[in-house]
Structure 1
């Protein structure tokens, strides 16, 4: 079995421009900040999932935007107060679990926000 190198597999040769990351295609940090700011505005006003976000700080969308930006190919999130999966889980500990209807309404809020 032959193993392919990245340039062979995706057609990138030395000196050729790299395709943009999803982070870049989506508009970079400003776009992620706007997206998550609007999403959290919508979700806290929605009757079904809003209890899951009770007590959320006004700054909550910012660290979420940083984490998601990194996952989409943006700059590494190195801020010790927001970095890491463990930190994210710590914010969720003790909250009431999301039900199927909560997840559906939250997904709907995401879809509406992206329009």
Structure 2
């Protein structure tokens, strides 16, 4: 399960075609041949050719570029473009619109795509996860010294944080603080890379023990979040590290990175 969103720095190109029915098969074949050239461009984020259900003669090509300049001055001046144009040139006269669009802040996901929080099993599943994880942590020789002074409520707080990060209730922010509060819990702890890796392994074992979903899509998003969070913890646990300014808890989705790094 994936959910791709253009970032504020990308641009989306739309090319609208009107292709007579008798030429639609050759048009689709041409774009099937041209598509790998788009995919090979380092300036192309993704692309999709869609066909109108109400009128089969209408097609829309959507290409997300790293920027308008990268499209016009990068892809179009690259060695890939002549071959791409050779395939698509016969249909230039059929173009009704070809423009670049910048994404706005008005975007989101519908309820047809479950959040990671819902897919994981909600609050109860995340509570089982953190309880299992911190039982393992406290019994681990490498990690126990780092977490020995934390009370039993710490596992509950982490469950609330994960719930919010994964698209669930914003209870962590409402009762404990935002992203900066979570980061501040690691300041001065001097977490090492071996300790970080051990925690990553233990939380994955805990996910199995807690019965979290085992599908590749969920576990991939879950592990990506764990890797991001633990690397942030190491960074802010070092000497002279300062917690970030007040920030909202990041939202993690299917294949979507959080909006800020620290």
Q: Which runs of 5+ in 1 are unaligned?
A: none
2:184 to 82, 90, 94: 90
2:115 aligned residue: 21
Q: CA shift at 1:49, angstroms?
A: 1.3
1:79 aligned residue: 174
How many residue pairs match? The answer is 106
Q: CA shift at 1:107, angstroms?
A: 1.1
1:23, 1:74 within 8 Å by CA — same for their partners in 2?
yes
Which has the higher relative contact order, 1 or 2, with Cα contacts under 8 A spaced 6 or more apart?
1
Q: Which runs of 5+ in 2 are unaligned?
A: 1-12, 15-100, 209-262
1:50 aligned residue: 144
1:6-53 CA-to-partner distances (Å, cap 9, x unmatched) read 69xx8x7xxxx5221111110000001110011011011111111110
1:93-112 CA-to-partner distances (Å, cap 9, x unmatched) read 232x1112111211111121
3-state DSSP of counterpart to 2:174:
coil
1:21, 1:72 within 8 Å by CA — same for their partners in 2?
yes
1:44, 1:50 within 8 Å by CA — same for their partners in 2?
yes
3-state DSSP of counterpart to 1:92:
coil
2:201 aligned residue: 108
1:55-107 CA-to-partner distances (Å, cap 9, x unmatched) read 01111111111111111110112433x22122223322232x11121112111
Aligned CA RMSD, in angstroms, stands at 2.3
More helix by share: 1
1:66 aligned residue: 160
More strand by share: 2
TM-score for both structures, normalised by structure 2: 0.37
Q: Distance in 2 between matches of 1:102 and 1:72?
A: 24
Q: Which has the larger radius of gyration?
A: 2
